[in-house]
Each structure stands twice: as C-alpha cells, then as structure tokens.
Structure 1
Amino acid sequence: MRESKREAALEAAKRVVQRDGVTALSYEAVAAEAELTKGGLLYHFPSRENLLLALHEYVAGQWEQCMCREVGQQDDAGLDDQTKLEAYVRASQNPDRAELLLTLEAATQNEAAHAVWSRIYDRWAAPMPVAAEDDEAVRRFIARLAADGLWLYESINEATVDPQVRDRLVQEITALGQTGQP
C-alpha cells in the first residue's frame, strides 16, 4: 500500500469512528470503507492497536496542522504564549465526532495515544498555572477552558453555532487570555 493508500485507510478509519465509534474500528470495517483489502491494511498496520495509534497520530496531526496554518508557519517555534493560545482557540472549533471520541479514548484507555495528544497540548495549549498569583497564566488557562468548552459544546450538540456567533465567541475567548487585562 503506497503512502496515499495509507492515508486513504486512515481517512476511512476516521469515518468509521465518526459514524460508529472507536469500538467499531476493525480491519474489516476500514477495508470496506476504504475499498481496500484486509491484507493491504495489515501491511501498514500489523495490529488493531497499530491502526488505532496511527489514527490518533493522524487526527492529532491534522489538528496541529490547523494551528500551524493559523500562525502561518510549520511549527510553534518562536511563538509567544498569546499567539499559540489564539491559534489553539481558532483551531479548536468545528470539531467532529471522531476527534471527540478519539480524545476521550486516549484520555481514558490508551496511554500511547494519550502521549500523542499530550505532546500537542504541551506545545500549543495554555498549561495549568503553577501559582495562583500568576495572573497572565490564570487568564490564558481560563481562555483554554472556554475554548475547550466551546469545542465540547459543538461536539455533542446537533445544532451548529452560527459562524458569526462563533467568530464573536472566539474573539471573546482570545481576549480572555490577553496580557494586561484587569
């Protein structure tokens, strides 16, 4: 299976999770969705665990690429905390069910997948403040919580948020984390 077939398989795996959940992820389901053979999948993913971890890496990587596009560079090198927070807030919107289910699965059942997501959170998301007196860190973390809350709200609700309302919410969330606020 060439690299494009590998990516097609991962896109198919994402659709399976989107539609049917993580527990439905199997070689048979992905092969049928991607119109590939089970043997072709086994070549790149020798076990279901390998397939699942690759899917975590793929979906988390897509999210990080979105943040990179938001800042106009290929990684987070040289970015200040506020710029990373703003990219995180903007990129954390418009979630899909697969992303939600994979992050939940990683947080509760899959240590290797948890590490994949944690590396991205550690680079881009505002960390938990280490001191209550660090006003800027507290504000950035509150903004992160608000962004995560909006992401979760959009993930679990069938109704979509009007794009103009979402834009306003994103503006207000990023303003929460700005330095020099009272």
Structure 2
Amino acid sequence: MRQSKRTLILDAAVQVVQREGIAAVTFDSVAAQAELTKGGLLYHFRSREALLEAVHEHLAHQWESQLEQAAGTTADHAGPRERSAAYAAVCTTSATRAELLLLVEAANDPTLSAYWEDVQNRWVPSPDSAELPQADLEDFVLRLAADGLWLHESIGGRPLDPRLCRQVAEYLIAALTGSDGTGPAAG
C-alpha cells in the first residue's frame, strides 16, 4: 500500500528530529527529507507548529498501535496485566531519540502532552492513591523499570546488546504476567 503524502511528511519530520533535533524541523529540512517541495508541505500544514503538533499525534498513534499489537487487542479489551505486559514489551523495543526529544518538548505544553497522556492513561494509568497493595506496588515498580529501560535506550550513548534488552523485556513481562510462577500475578 502506498504511503500518503501526509504520513510521508510526518515520518520525514521524525527523521529530522532523530538526526538533528526539534530545532532543525523547518519546512525546508522536512521537504528535503521527504523529497517534496516546500509548497507540498504547506498544502498539508499551514505552520511549523501545526506540523510539530501533527508529529506528536502521529507518534502517539504509532505507539498505541505498537501496544495493541503487543497485547493482541485494544486497551479496552485487555486486562490490567495484559496492558502492563504490552507496555513493558513496547518500552523495551521502541526507544528513539526523536520520541525522547518530543516527549520532553510536550512536557510543558498541555496540547502536545495530551496526545501522549491519552495513550498512557489507556494502557498504564498512574496509581490513584498514595499507598498501594503489595501486588499493585510491584506492578508499578516493574512499569517504572520499563520506563527506565526505554529512557536508557532513547538517550543514545551505549545501547544494550539486543540480547540483553530482550532478556530484560522477557523478565519484566514474565514478572507482570506471572508466567514464571513467581511474579506479582502469581500471588
């Protein structure tokens, strides 16, 4: 299936962010990456801000699609442990510098952060209380470990060997689902 020009533009913008950072996203840089004219971009996005907002929406949608694929279903049809296991699986395989930079940018902008928060709230909402039962606390700590692995991999530096990353992911997923017989789900 042929990729739409809008998706092509958004993917090109993500590539520019990945390579050079958010400040490098201009109509000229994205047009060059997408191999389109600047006018072609302006047809889809009236401003740089509109383009960047669409990039946030685009990546949040891709993230949710990855979560659904990992869970084999939507957030509405997955149980809490299935959602947590899918989250851990995706966090350990999808970290990019572009996502990190965009999430940092979104932290201070309610419009941009809403795209990311909506997905996160469907899949792994933050605890509602100040104290948790032991099993819920263990699940939350495992989620934070998945977040930490994602951050480690997205920062760049020296990434983990893919075999070790897979081993960590399998450990987190087993602990969340209780499939090893010892995790929180077994209790």
* Deviation at residue 136 of structure 1 after TM alignment: 2.7
Write the distance in 2 (CA, Å) between the matches of 1:98 and 1:169: 23
Q: 2:36 — aligned with what?
A: 36
User: Does the Cα contact within 8 Å between 1:12 and 1:33 map onto a contact in 2?
Assistant: yes
In the alignment, structure 2 segments of 5+ residues that lack a partner are 178-183
Q: 2:172 — aligned with what?
A: 173
Q: 1:141 — aligned with what?
A: 140
CA deviation map 1:150-173 (0-9, x unaligned): 011111233232222112211222
Q: 2:67 — aligned with what?
A: 67
Q: 1:15 — aligned with what?
A: 15
Counterpart of 1:31 in structure 2: which amino acid? A
Change (3 A) 1:47 1:144: same
Runs of 4+ displaced beyond 6 Å? none
Counterpart of 1:69 in structure 2: which amino acid? Q
For this pair of structures, how many residues does the alignment match?
A: 179
Determine what percentage of the aligned residue pairs are the same residue. 41
CA RMSD of aligned residues (A): 1.9
The TM-score, its normalising length taken from structure 1, stands at: 0.89
Q: Which shows bigger deviation, 152-161 or 51-60?
A: 152-161
* Deviation at residue 177 of structure 1 after TM alignment: 3.7
SS of equivalent to 1:160: coil
Q: 2:99 — aligned with what?
A: 99
* Deviation at residue 32 of structure 1 after TM alignment: 1.2
SS of equivalent to 2:122: helix
Counterpart of 1:130 in structure 2: which amino acid? S
Q: 1:116 — aligned with what?
A: 115
* Deviation at residue 96 of structure 1 after TM alignment: 1.1
Q: Which shows bigger deviation, 122-131 or 64-73?
A: 122-131
Write the distance in 1 (CA, Å) between the matches of 2:48 and 2:110: 15
In the alignment, structure 1 segments of 5+ residues that lack a partner are none
CA deviation map 1:55-93 (0-9, x unaligned): 0011111111111111223x2122111000000000112
Counterpart of 1:39 in structure 2: which amino acid? G
